[in-house]
Amino acid sequence: MLDRANLVTLTFLSIAALAFVRCAPTQTGPPVTPSAQSQIPSRTTVHAAATTSTQYSIKDLGAVAGYSESQVGQGTITAGEGLNNLGQAAGSSWNPGADPTATLFDNGTATNINTIKATASMATAINDSGQVVGQETRSNDKCGCWHAFLYSNGAMTNIENTAIFPNGSEAYGINKSGQVVGVGFLDPNDVSYHAFLYSGGQMTDLNPFNASQSLAVSINDSGQIIGSSSATNSTPAAATWLYSNGTFTNLSTTNSGAYINNNGQIAGHSTSTKHAVLYSNGTWTDLGTLPGTTSSVANSVNLSGHVVGSATFPATYHPFKSPRPVAIVFTSSGPVDLNTLIPTNSGFTLTSAQAINNSGQIACDAKTSTGTPHAVLLTPM
């Protein structure tokens, strides 16, 4: 049985923080989004934030027929792109102990979009045309690696360029024009990997700052791209960068971006404070975290500036309990647990808010009362 990739996030304190264990049989089902680390609560508020009075209905997005579990846009370091403005979501479905399959969630129907019959596949992002990107792998693959795909007009297509990236690739974001961004691998040991842009049927190695390690995580409809790269002679610390109009700009060495909206706002987290952050008008703002939690991350921001993400309660030892993630929305009064804004008898516990669209709908990862992972969609009431 093939296992999906286990991604360790590229931090901004180390030049060798991103490592993939591709197809290694060490875990089953999609891994959770990389967890944030210890944080100190902040009272910083967000302009144009959602209000605490918003209540949401909740809809189970289900799973592909024959599968019992699902998630939204998981499996990469990116988040925030698993939902479009039509309420369609992209992610994965799987059974316990089995490999995941890329899934399109649309109006109550979960569709297997793995038309090429890959052994394992994961969808990470979707645009308003219903085009989906992600990565797939096959048991007979010679390199044993993942390959970026584009699902469009009912068919999944491998879009990588093996002449540039001979050891696989993964797609993380897509915009309305069908431009795709992600990461491509140059060697079998994943020592060198570069951000890519796929546009007009061609894949280009972006190679920001001539770094040996880089990846692109999100692209907006203007073609602006955000990503990360390791330290170089010109950038002595690892960088979060913005690519716009052919130019790379170093935005931060302590803040990591996960998603860029069409206003150029960036949702992410701080690697120093371990808080969720928002980049807007040239400034990074600390969004804080829930009382009692040790960390928070911002996964998505819509055109109204509403931000969603997750926070993590620490582990306890008497008795032992694992760290507990919860989905949150950042409001004008501070972060709010989304579990307090849905019907009390929903049967779900929301663990992460992955994406928010311009209608205010939120795609979340959740667990049922029996602990089964399920993708859900929240709609403002």
Q: What confidence score (pLDDT) does residue 79 get?
A: 64
Into how many domains does the chain fold? 1
Among 69-83, 95-109, 295-309, the minimum mean pLDDT is found in 69-83
Q: 260-292 pLDDT, tens per residue?
A: 999 999 999 999 999 999 999 999 999 999 999
Q: 156-213 pLDDT, tens per residue?
A: 999 999 999 999 999 999 999 999 999 999 999 889 999 999 999 999 999 999 999 9
pLDDT category, 141, cuts 50, 70, 90? confident
Q: What is the mean pLDDT of residues 237-261?
A: 94
Cβ distance 32 to 18 under 8 Å?
no
Round to whole Å and give the CA distance between 233 and 209. Answer: 9
Residue 61 domain flag: yes
Residue 101 domain flag: yes
Q: What is the mean pLDDT of residues 217-234?
A: 93
Tokens of 337: 């647990």
Average pLDDT, the chain: 86
Residue 48 domain flag: yes
**C-alpha 265 chain-centroid distance:** 16
Does the pLDDT at position 116 exceed 90?
Answer: yes
**Closest C-alpha among 174, 106, 121, 87 to residue 363:** 87
Please, what sign has the CA dihedral across residues 50, 52, 58, 63?
A: positive
Residue 349's identity, in one-letter code, is T
Round to whole Å and give the CA distance between 43 and 181. Answer: 34
| Domain span holding position 155 | 6-380
Q: What confidence score (pLDDT) does residue 67 get?
A: 97
Residue 138 domain flag: yes
Residues, the chain: 381
Residue 16 domain flag: yes
Residue 363 domain flag: yes
Full-model pTM: 0.88
Tokens of 48: 């144009």
Residue 1 domain flag: no
pLDDT category, 77, cuts 50, 70, 90? low
Question: CATH code at 200?
Answer: 2.130.10.120
Residue 286 domain flag: yes
Q: What confidence score (pLDDT) does residue 236 get?
A: 75
Round to whole Å and give the CA distance between 46 and 53. Answer: 16
**Closest C-alpha among 227, 233, 182, 158 to residue 20:** 182
